[in-house]
């Protein structure tokens, strides 16, 4: 595999073409953003830590029946991934009520519902990634009802697997955001990162936040916390 020119650059990642049209290289940046890019900073080693964390967790899902776009880690801050047709929907899986849901519904953070909550959002910062329902997604031509059923099933399975492995690392998976895409055969695969940027993680023993909230809420020690998350997961999956 040979990395070629830059194809796309987002807030936290760069995507490069390769000499294989079916694969791309994704590079994780040290940039941190919040509140739709209003708050920005660079955090040393963040790209490397996020790449390592996402590689371990996506690889774990691949091995346990949840197909992802991830192929392998090819550098400290780079992954080789399959090209997919991205579906412009975000699935937020909530095990504990926190963040935007708590604020939106006037609920206290930390409440544990009896059921797992699945939020469906239309991907688009210009609209604020609005909450939609299945009927909206179908009406907009983004996915079929059958595809949405599969997306929820895969999200639920990923949640169980991730919750279990993170629990072994002393980390509570509060919630996480994922996206899906269609591979060359039309199969749905998880096509996103799994990092403290996209997962809300709390230390199980202390309740200390171990995710992007440390940046959002000016809690400090962002780099050290991301490094701790990477170390704990590596110790569990070694």
**Burial profile 49-73: b = 16 or more Cβ within 10 angstroms, e = fewer:** bbbbbbbbbbbbbbeeebebbbbeb
What domains sit in the chain, N to C, each tagged with a CATH number? Answer: 3-82 (3.30.200.20), 85-237 (3.30.470.20)
CB contact at 8 A, 210 and 202: yes
Average pLDDT over residues 122-129: 90
Task: Please write down the HEC assignment for all residues of 57-89.
Answer: HHHHHHHCCCCECEEEEEECCEEEEECCEECCE
**pTM assigned to the model:** 0.96
Task: Please write down the HEC assignment for all residues of 131-197.
Answer: EECHHHHHHCCCCCHHHHHHHHHHHHHHHHHHHHHHHHCCEEEEEEEECEEECCCCCEEECCCCCCC
Structure tokens at 24: 């791309």
For 25-51, the DSSP string reads EEEE-SEEEETTTTEEEE-TTHHHHHH
- DSSP-derived 3-state class of residue 235: helix
- DSSP-derived 3-state class of residue 99: helix
Lowest mean pLDDT, pick from 7-11, 67-71, 144-148, 163-167: 7-11
Q: Report whether pLDDT(162) > 80.
A: yes
CA-nearest of 164, 179, 158, 147 to 59 is 158
220-231 tens-digit pLDDT: 999 999 999 999
Percent pLDDT > 90 in the chain is 94
C-alpha to C-alpha distance for 3 and 19, rounded to whole angstroms: 7
CB contact at 8 A, 60 and 237: yes
Q: Report whether pLDDT(122) > 80.
A: yes
C-alpha to C-alpha distance for 229 and 226, rounded to whole angstroms: 5
Give the angle 128-134-138 at the CA atoms, nearest 5°. Answer: 95
CA-nearest of 159, 154, 164 to 176 is 159
At 238 the pLDDT is: 84
Average pLDDT over residues 135-147: 98
């Amino acid at each position: 595999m040979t990395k070629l020119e830059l194809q796309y650059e987002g807030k936290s990642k760069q995507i490069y073409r390769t000499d294989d049209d079916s694969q791309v290289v994704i590079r994780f940046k040290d940039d941190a953003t919040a509140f739709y890019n209003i708050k920005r900073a660079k955090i040393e080693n963040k790209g490397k830590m996020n790449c390592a964390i996402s590689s371990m967790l996506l690889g774990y899902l691949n091995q346990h029946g949840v197909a992802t776009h991830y192929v392998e880690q090819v550098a400290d801050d780079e992954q080789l991934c399959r090209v997919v047709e991205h579906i412009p929907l975000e699935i937020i899986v909530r095990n504990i009520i926190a963040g935007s849901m708590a604020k939106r519904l006037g609920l206290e953070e930390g409440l544990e519902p009896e059921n797992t909550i699945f939020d469906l959002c239309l991907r688009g910062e210009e609209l604020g990634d609005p909450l939609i329902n299945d009927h909206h997604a179908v009406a907009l031509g983004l996915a079929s009802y059958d595809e949405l059923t599969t997306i929820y099933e895969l999200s639920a399975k990923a949640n169980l697997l991730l919750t279990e492995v993170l629990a072994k690392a002393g980390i509570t998976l509060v919630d996480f955001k994922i996206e899906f895409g269609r591979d060359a055969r039309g199969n749905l695969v998880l096509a996103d990162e799994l990092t403290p940027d996209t997962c809300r993680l709390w230390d199980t023993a202390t309740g200390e936040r171990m995710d992007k909230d440390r940046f959002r809420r000016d809690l400090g020690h962002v780099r050290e916390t991301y490094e701790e998350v990477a170390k704990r997961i590596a110790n569990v999956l070694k």
